[in-house]
Structure 1
Amino acid sequence: MVAVLAALSPGQVTFFAVYGWTLALWLVAEFLNWRRSQYEVVGSDLETLVERGDAKDDRGHAVAATSNGRGSGGSSDDAPKPPPRLLTWQGMVEDCVSSGLIRCMLFDLSAIKDNRDTLRSMAELGSLMVWYFMCDRTSLFNAGEKSYSRDVFAFLFLVLTAVAFGSSNQLIKAPVLLARQQTEEWKGWMQVLFLLYHYFEAREIYNAIRIFIAAYVWMTGFGNFSYYYKTGDYCVGRFAQMMWRLNFLVFVVCLVMRNSYMLYYICPMHTIYTVLVYACLGIAAHWNQHNGLLAVKMVLALVFVLVFWDIKGVFYFVWKPLTWLVGYDDPRKDDNDVLYEWFFRSSLDRFVWIYGMLCAWAHPHASALLTLIDNLPAVNRALVRSAVLSAVAVVGYFWYVHVYCLPKLEYNAAHPYTSWIPITLYMVVRNMTPTLRLHHLRLYGWLGCITLETYIGQFHVWLKTEIADGQPKALLELLPGYPLLNFAAVTAGYVYVSYRLFLLTNSLKNAAVPHSNDTLLLRNVIVMAVVGAGLYFATYALLDMFVY
């Protein structure tokens, strides 16, 4: 036992201890709710007798209906809960102690019963993290070698696309430019190619993968700008929910797998660009109503990028104190610059999030232009669309020949300044006609909803890293000797686990991060931070005294 604990980090020991306790609390909650359901059945039978006038007590007297029973709506569970009291130190402490998390930890049966759904989500999340650990950090499953076949790679993608066309080609209500269903579809098919690139180590499409990642970042700028610009909702709760969505799962995985945050570089990239979009529109929000002032904001964002990324010394000066967060040292390589990975990854797409905001800003005008083209006489409409598609073909050809076909290092140098070109060309072609805008492939749209979970999960339940902070150099093998059957089996489990994690992340977000109650949000943040830090340091102290 001591040897096992010595091989684990304090964070891992903390996780497994919390997982065991959560599992026990969930089982207790299920038992309590089962017992309550039995009492409710008996109570409902009694109420029926009371209504008929047939119920009597032990002395034979008639039982009168009262307003105190649960069935009559008088349950204390239905009473409105008082708001959190964080205005004073005493009120803050009292409110934190009375939170559901603390009460469950102290084995308050009422709290355990009321928080059954949350405990169930936590227990399932913990179980899936145990599966992550078993697949990647134990010898239960073999590690297979990667091998690339262009034929197999293309076959798998084309078959999936054919299935998507045949079984999930759906219509939306109106031919909207860049509708949500369309952008989710876009994310979905890019994610499939991105994952296959890693599984087969298809190095020949490296440049395409760079474009796909740029498109994800473009969507961060486009989607967040659209939301803030239309709604004016800059509340802390909504921003906190975005941070939860981007970072909760990766935080738990880093804890369980003993990995650095930067191993999953997509998460910090989207986080920083989400923060920048929020800052760009949230600061001096009244400027957003005036095109001239909003244009000034865009220029200032561009200047910020030029100073922050193009002057490397500024970037390193700002991020060096946060090396513990964004530093990364690949154990399989000799590299002393732990900030290089963060600088390299984030600088590749440092401009495209601004282009995403510009596209969102211009979206109403582009939509009006498309409507104008759609309403032209048939001959004129065909001529305009032909001219646009011809221009797209010419630009695409020159971009492909002079940019896309560059060797890896040369392409990386050109990518930040040219990634907007293929993104724009795709948008133009995909939205050229109302028919194209009306249709979307739901299968790819569904996969697009779980891109974050599939991105993180690929490291551990599809591929194998095998060591802390290691890159996924091997394949997870459930069926050794049968590569295609193994691919099918592993992929099915991997996608299912990713989907469950997507649902669990959202479920726990709703429980922990309220949208419109900043006081409750502050209370929850304090409780989670104090409890988490307390458990971690207590575990560290115990391990230091008795194990290490």
Structure 2
Amino acid sequence: MEISGPITPSQVSLLLGLLPVIVAWLYSELLEHLNNSNPPKNGADFGSDFVENDEKIHLLKGGPSLASPSQVRKSSPSFLRFLSMDKEFLLENRSTLRSLSEFGAVTVFFYICDRTNLFGESTKHYDRDLFLFLYFLLIIVAAITSLKKHQENSPVLEKSVRYLNRDQTEEWKGWMQVLFVMYHYFAAKEIYNAIRVFIAAYVWMTGFGNFSYYYVRKDFSFARFAQMMWRLNFFVAFCCIALDNHYMLYYICPMHTFFTLLVYCALGLFNKYNKHGSVIAVKIVACFAVIVIVWEVPSVFDFVWSPFAFLLAYNDPDVSEPYPPMHEWHFRSGLDRYIWIVGMIYAYYHPTVERWMEKLEKTRVSLQILIKSSIATICLLVGYVWYEYLFKLEKHTYNVYHPYTSWIPITVYIVLRNITQRFRNYTLALFGWLGKITLETYISQYHIWMRTGGPDKQPRKDLSLIPNYPMLNFLLTTAIYITVAHRVFGLTNKLKMVFIPSGDDKRLMYNIVVAAIVSVTLYALSLVLLNLPKMLL
């Protein structure tokens, strides 16, 4: 098996960290098996009984309490208990160790598929008929098997039929994500402009969802912030380490992270005044002002972002004439620089629109039909004009207008999707399920559905497990790809709850410090190991 590219210190440090975790997990499984096979008999644990009785005697006499060996071990820091392979600690954390091992195995699988010649690769091929057939087939299957109705009058499901409810936005993300990844897999260049709109919709949801949460919940705690950053960056960070890629290769991740940070800062500053509409208006205007200054005023972008070049710089190795290192970040973030603010505005007026819709639903049927038909007609007319005069432009020309006009198709979709209560009552659960794992499917597509073949390269080839049978190969790789992405979604959330606890800032800070120390130590050790042959010569 040949490996493409040299082994880096980061990859070695990841392997050094993964091996003891796997050993600890296997040992914990063995301990669990032994405990189940040989349950303790009465009086068998004589030592612990003796210690407990001895401690009781001292307490009765008024003397100091004697700590049992078990209590001493439990009072030790968790990391030290892990290093000492403390049996009780391993059994208590067996599930976490298994999740860490499984997550590590996923990164190894990514490396094998993408950076070795163990599996083959195939050339991308686009056929419009096949592309549309596969997509509409999925819609039909989703409609037959997963059409879900949310009961309008049920107190439990009252929120499920709200305008822009959670089920609806998940479904929205799902059907867009399918087209997004199929666009990459088949190299469907003719739908480029549509993909730009889909990405804008994702960023719109970042503004809408985060504003709704922080405005309603008023939870600006460090734990909540850390959990959000974990959700957005945990998986991609390990992919960057394991595959020696720059962060900007997965450009959706830095974009969502950046716009999430902006929403957090906008609402977090002077948050006790957020209940005043005038304050929200000032914050919205300030957000627009910041974006205009940074992205529209010449040279300001370079000045602001140059200190972050170590994180956001990127160049495709396969391009003969590379752009400046920060071009990719300027281009990607610039395309959707305003739409997250539009999402915030829509979130702020969301309750007002809901009240209008509730009043409309209570009016007589003839008036409802008249108003809804008028709104739908206006939206369709606006959508048609946008489609004819903007969407059909050549992609480079379209990109010039996109930052200022992407709100139009998004608004048209939102209005038409919610125009009647019946429309709001139904969702396709299959797309909703896919919508929950968009981050994982986006990252995973690069390495186990397609192939990049080297650090920072774009996925210009498709992974081939069944050579010469493109559709069977598509079926198999897609099944593996979706399964792995869904599993990573579960692992990310489970590990988030373990390492980013809510309401325990002391433990959270301990975890951060330990993670930093372990990372630095492993990286230093990997440098020594990689340079050891040179030192011995």
- Aligned-pair distance for 1:38? 3.8
Q: Deviations over 1:478-511 (max 9, x none)?
A: 0011111100000000000001100111111111
**Alignment check: 8 A CA contact 1:207 1:404 kept:** yes
**What's the TM-score once normalised by structure 1's chain length?**
0.89
SS at match of 1:319: helix
Aligned equivalent of 2:119? 141
- Aligned-pair distance for 1:100? 2.4
Q: How does 1:446-465 map to 2 (within 5 A)?
A: 446-465=433-452
**Alignment check: 8 A CA contact 2:171 2:428 kept:** yes
Aligned equivalent of 1:489? 476
Unpaired stretches in structure 1, ≥5 consecutive residues: 48-54, 58-64, 69-74, 83-94
Paired residues, number: 510
- Aligned-pair distance for 1:99? 3.5
In structure 2, the CA distance between the partners of 1:67 and 1:404, relative to structure 1 (3 Å rule), is farther
SS at match of 1:271: helix
CA distance in 2, matches of 1:214, 1:155: 26
Q: How does 1:14-413 map to 2 (within 5 A)?
A: 14-39=13-38, 41-43=39-41, 46=42, 98-172=76-150, 173-174=157-158, 175-333=161-319, 334-413=321-400
**What's the TM-score once normalised by structure 2's chain length?**
0.91
In structure 2, the CA distance between the partners of 1:330 and 1:437, relative to structure 1 (3 Å rule), is same
CA distance in 1, matches of 2:176, 2:527: 42
Q: Deviations over 1:232-252 (max 9, x none)?
A: 110010010000000000000
Which of 463, 466, 472 is matched with 2:459 structurally? 472
The letter for the 2-side match of 1:36 is: N
SS at match of 2:455: coil
Q: Deviations over 1:115-142 (max 9, x none)?
A: 1111100100111111101100000111
SS at match of 2:296: coil
The answer to whether 1:415 aligns with 2:393 is no
Q: Deviations over 1:140-199 (max 9, x none)?
A: 111100010000110111010111111111123232111111100000000000000000
Aligned equivalent of 1:88? none
The letter for the 1-side match of 2:385 is: F
In structure 2, the CA distance between the partners of 1:106 and 1:145, relative to structure 1 (3 Å rule), is same
SS at match of 1:289: coil
SS at match of 2:163: coil
The letter for the 2-side match of 1:297 is: K
CA distance in 1, matches of 2:68, 2:412: 60
The percent of aligned pairs where both chains have the same amino acid is 44
**Alignment check: 8 A CA contact 2:147 2:429 kept:** yes
Aligned equivalent of 2:49? none
The answer to whether 1:532 aligns with 2:531 is no
- Aligned-pair distance for 1:76? 9.0
Q: Deviations over 1:9-66 (max 9, x none)?
A: 0111112222222111100011122223345x444xx49xxxxxxx9x9xxxxxxx99
Aligned equivalent of 1:518? 505
SS at match of 1:506: helix
In structure 2, the CA distance between the partners of 1:4 and 1:295, relative to structure 1 (3 Å rule), is closer
The letter for the 2-side match of 1:101 is: F
**Alignment check: 8 A CA contact 1:6 1:547 kept:** no
**Alignment check: 8 A CA contact 1:348 1:412 kept:** yes
**Alignment check: 8 A CA contact 1:100 1:115 kept:** no
- Aligned-pair distance for 1:4? 7.8
In structure 2, the CA distance between the partners of 1:208 and 1:524, relative to structure 1 (3 Å rule), is same
Stretch moving more, 209-218 or 334-343: 334-343
SS at match of 1:143: strand
**Alignment check: 8 A CA contact 2:4 2:115 kept:** no
Q: Cα RMSD (Å) of the superposition? A: 2.6
- Aligned-pair distance for 1:317? 1.3
CA distance in 2, matches of 1:67, 1:446: 57
In structure 2, the CA distance between the partners of 1:515 and 1:397, relative to structure 1 (3 Å rule), is same
CA distance in 2, matches of 1:409, 1:518: 48
**Alignment check: 8 A CA contact 2:209 2:347 kept:** yes
CA distance in 2, matches of 1:449, 1:99: 35
In structure 2, the CA distance between the partners of 1:6 and 1:375, relative to structure 1 (3 Å rule), is closer
Q: Deviations over 1:62-81 (max 9, x none)?
A: xxx9999xxxxxx99999x9
CA distance in 1, matches of 2:451, 2:409: 32
**Alignment check: 8 A CA contact 2:446 2:452 kept:** yes
CA distance in 2, matches of 1:109, 1:337: 54
- Aligned-pair distance for 1:318? 1.9
The letter for the 1-side match of 2:378 is: A
SS at match of 1:476: strand
**Alignment check: 8 A CA contact 2:4 2:116 kept:** no
**Alignment check: 8 A CA contact 2:205 2:340 kept:** yes
Q: Deviations over 1:271-304 (max 9, x none)?
A: 0000000000000002211001111111011101
**Alignment check: 8 A CA contact 1:5 1:547 kept:** no
List, as ranges, runs of 4+ consecutive aligned residues in structure 1 with deviation greater than 4 Å.
3-6, 65-68, 75-79
CA distance in 1, matches of 2:534, 2:180: 42
In structure 2, the CA distance between the partners of 1:232 and 1:486, relative to structure 1 (3 Å rule), is same
Stretch moving more, 462-471 or 530-539: 530-539
CA distance in 2, matches of 1:128, 1:312: 43
The answer to whether 1:11 aligns with 2:15 is no
The letter for the 1-side match of 2:495 is: L
